[in-house]
Amino acid sequence: MSAIIHAENLVKTYISGDTATRALRGVSLEVEPGEFVAIMGPSGSGKSTLMNLLGLLDTPTKGTYRIQGVDVSKLDDDELAEARSREIGFVFQSFNLLPRTTVFRNVMLPLIYTLVPRAEREERVLAALEAAGLEEALHYKTSNQLSGGQMQRVAIARALVNDPSLVLADEPTGNLDTKTGDHILQTFHRLRDEGRTILLITHEPEVAAHADRCLHIRDGLIATDERDAA
């Protein structure tokens, strides 16, 4: 089975004036299809930098990163944007939804600038909403008719609409109460059971415990890589 993610000796250095800050100091990992992986670490550990690299939002200073076997260092900016749209679905703590518009239009947003025919776009939106458990709310307005948990489900549906190989979730339960957060995590479990690959960034051990595997990052390096014995 080929790894979806293959990262080898990733280094990321930020330069500010005469100061160089090494956020990642040589991170290597592989993630297989269908894995549910949590990445944990304190503030400043490098987990957000790693997420940006794995999500193709930034490029490493050194090292190799392949997603679905493609070496991203060989892609130009347009090719990176295309790969990001095709391979990765993002779920953020702050939802990042358009206010005062419908659930349906929010989920369709990633498809608007594609060549996908309108009928197929609508089919994809409905399928993504069903996968996120929110098909009954497609005509609701996000600003005043949805709870926090429902808005996060909309964000999950939007992440799924392009049928990505990887769902990257950054603190997806951070703005939710415990009960609602558990419901969102159960959604990720269901997606994993359907064959989705989930990579979840968190600082909460209770959230990370839902994953099959947990990477702990400290000082720009992977300190531990723990797998659920079950």
Which of these ranges, 32-36, 47-51, 137-141, 198-202, has the smallest mean pLDDT? 137-141
The answer on pLDDT for 94 being more than 90 is: no
- pTM: predicted TM-score of the whole model, two decimal places: 0.87
Q: What is the pLDDT of residue 113?
A: 72
Which of these ranges, 50-54, 72-76, 222-226, has the smallest mean pLDDT? 72-76
Q: What is the pLDDT of residue 93?
A: 83
Of the chain, the percentage scoring pLDDT greater than 70 comes to 98
In order of start, what are the domains of the chain with their CATH numbers?
34-59+88-227 (3.40.50.300)
Q: What is the pLDDT of residue 143?
A: 66
The answer on pLDDT for 142 being more than 80 is: no
Q: Is the dihedral of CA 203, 209, 211, 216 positive or negative?
A: positive
CA gap 126, 129 in Å, rounded? 5
If we measure between CA atoms, which residue out of 79, 62, 64 comes closest to residue 5?
Answer: 64
Which of these ranges, 105-109, 141-145, 175-179, 188-192, has the smallest mean pLDDT? 141-145
In the block, which residue shows the tokens 């498809």? 111
Concatenate the DSSP letters of all residues of the chain into one string.
---SEEEEEEEEEEEETTEEEEEEEEEEEEE-TT-EEEEE--TTSSHHHHHHHHTTSS--SEEEEEETTEEGGG--HHHHHHHHHHHEEEEETT--PPTTSBHHHHHHGGGTTS---HHHHHHHHHHHHHHTT-GGGTTSBTTTS--HHHHHHHHHHHHHTT--SEEEEESTTTTS-HHHHHHHHHHHHHHHHTT-EEEEEES-HHHHTTSSEEEEEETTEEEEEEE---
Question: What's the rounded mean pLDDT across residues 92-121?
Answer: 87
Q: What is the pLDDT of residue 139?
A: 80
Q: What is the pLDDT of residues 192-217, one digit of tens each?
A: 998 999 999 998 899 999 999 999 99
Q: What is the pLDDT of residue 118?
A: 87
